[in-house]
């Protein structure tokens, strides 16, 4: 059962579509980044994340790779432990599915910006 959208400290809004201890293999959430905003540098320890872009345009940064423009229909794969962030470069919301394997758990989230968490 999906939850209501909530603001996550990373700098985006999240709607959990599938994340349960009964299925530890995968989680799926819808993320929404407002126009002109950039999520915080972060990484997921032990979790591979995929961004499946649904709407809008953005620039994703992963590890030390060059920034990559993204738009609807594109998929970005973020290996475990690599720093990441995404910027909404469009005029509307940037919407994407965040698919994590194994499933996302808060303990795996590592905020990498000054003044952040772990």
**pLDDT 10s per residue in the chain (118 long)?**
446 999 999 999 999 999 999 999 999 999 999 999 999 999 999 999 999 999 999 999 999 999 999 999 999 999 999 999 999 999 999 999 999 999 999 999 999 997 655 4
Q: Supply the pTM of this predicted model.
A: 0.92
Round to whole Å and give the CA distance between 90 and 72.
12
Query: How much is the pLDDT for 50?
Result: 98
Q: Which two tokens stand for residue 77?
A: 């794969």
Report in angstroms the alpha-carbon separations of 69 from 28, 74, 85: 22, 10, 12
Place of tokens 């320890």: 45
Query: How much is the pLDDT for 116?
Result: 57
Q: How would you classify the pairing of strands 12-18 and 84-88?
A: unpaired
Query: Please, how many CA atoms are within 13 Å of residue 33, restricted to the half-sphere of its CB?
Result: 26
């Amino acid at each position: 059962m999906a939850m209501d959208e909530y603001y996550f400290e990373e700098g985006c809004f999240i709607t959990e579509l599938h994340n349960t201890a009964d299925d530890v293999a995968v989680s799926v959430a819808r993320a929404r980044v407002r126009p002109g905003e950039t999520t915080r540098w972060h990484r997921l320890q032990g979790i591979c994340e995929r961004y499946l872009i649904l709407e809008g345009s953005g620039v994703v940064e992963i590890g030390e790779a060059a920034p990559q423009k993204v738009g609807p229909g594109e998929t970005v794969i973020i290996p475990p432990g690599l720093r990441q962030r995404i910027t909404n470069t469009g005029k509307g919301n940037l919407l994407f599915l965040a698919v994590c394997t194994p499933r996302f758990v808060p303990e795996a989230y590592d905020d990498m910006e000054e003044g952040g968490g772990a």
